Amino acid sequence: RHSSIAQLYEVIETADNIFMVMEYAQNGEFFDYIMDGKMYVFSMQIIEREAHHYFAQIIAGLEYLHSLGVAHRDVKPENMLLDVHRR
């Protein structure tokens, strides 16, 4: 359990599919957030502050995974989810 990692509750495997029951991320993918232009563009200082905020969360989550001996092999905005608490 880590505040920057979506909780995996259950994995269900059928003959044809694998289903993962995860914590709900209400605000979707980080990629969509970036592409929709929702990052603040009022000034470079605000963009840098927001980028720092997200980068710190990503690093904290990866650091936690690495401390458990887990490596995430596909780190990209499409694989990062935003919950209701996103800025």
- Residues in contact with 75: Cβ distance below 8 Å, sequence separation at least 6, in sequence order: 58, 62
Which of the residues 16, 32, 36, 74 is marked catalytic?
74
Residue 74 is among the residues annotated as catalytic for this protein: yes
- Residues in contact with 71: Cβ distance below 8 Å, sequence separation at least 6, in sequence order: 65
82 close to 30: Cβ distance less than 8 angstroms: yes
Assigned token pair, 50: 């927001």
Residues annotated as catalytic (active site), given as ranges: 74
